[in-house]
Amino acid sequence: MNDDREAWLAARRSGVGGSDAAIACGLHPYVSPLELYYDKTGEVAVEREDTERMQMGRALEDAIADVFAERYDVKLRRYPMRRHPVYPWMIGNPDRLIEGAHIGLEIKNVDALAYRFGEWGAPDTDEIPEPYLLQCLHYAMLFDYREWHLAALVGGNTLKRYIVRRDPELETLLVDGEREFWQCVERREPPEIDYARPGALALAKRLYPGTNGEAIQLPAEMDYWHAIQIEAATLAKEYTATADGAKAHILRAMGEASFARLANGTGEYRRKLVKKAGYTVAPTSYLDFRFSKKGTSDE
Number of domains making up the chain: 2
**102 and 230: one domain?**
no
Structural domain contains residue 197: no
- Whether 176 is in a domain gets the answer yes
* Same domain as 149, residue 55: yes
In a domain, 182, yes or no: yes
Q: Are residues 19 and 86 in the same domain?
A: yes
Q: What are 68-103's pLDDT values in tens digits?
A: 999 999 999 999 999 999 999 999 999 999 999 999
Identify whether residues 68 and 139 lie together within a single domain: yes
Residues 231 and 142 reside in one and the same domain: no
Whole-angstrom distance, CA of residue 142 vs CA of residue 147: 11
Q: Considering the domain boundaries, does residue 209 fall inside one?
A: no
**Same-domain check for residues 9 and 157:** yes
Whether residue 127 is found in the same domain as residue 226: no
Whether 115 and 236 map to the same domain: the answer is no
148 and 16 both lie in a single domain: yes
Pick from 187, 213, 234: which residue ends a domain? Answer: 187
Residue 158 has phi, psi (to 5 degrees) of -135, 125
- CA distances 38 to 11, 49, 191, Å, are 15, 15, 10
Residues 252 and 175 in one domain: no
DSSP bridge pairs for 161: 151
Residue 230's domain comprises 222-261
In this structure, are 118 and 227 located in the same domain? no
* Domain membership flag for residue 196: no
> 284 in a domain, yes or no?
no
Q: Residue 118 belongs to a domain with what CATH number?
A: 3.90.320.10
250 and 119 in a common domain? no
Q: 57 exposed, middle or buried (CB, 10 Å; 0-12, 13-18, 19+)? A: middle
pLDDT tens-place values along the chain, 299 residues long: 556 667 777 788 899 999 999 999 999 988 899 999 999 998 877 666 667 777 887 889 999 999 999 999 999 999 999 999 999 999 999 999 999 999 999 999 999 999 998 899 999 999 999 999 999 999 999 999 999 999 999 999 999 999 999 999 999 999 999 999 999 999 999 998 878 777 778 777 777 777 888 888 989 998 998 999 899 989 999 999 999 999 899 989 988 888 889 899 888 888 888 787 777 777 777 666 565 665 555 44
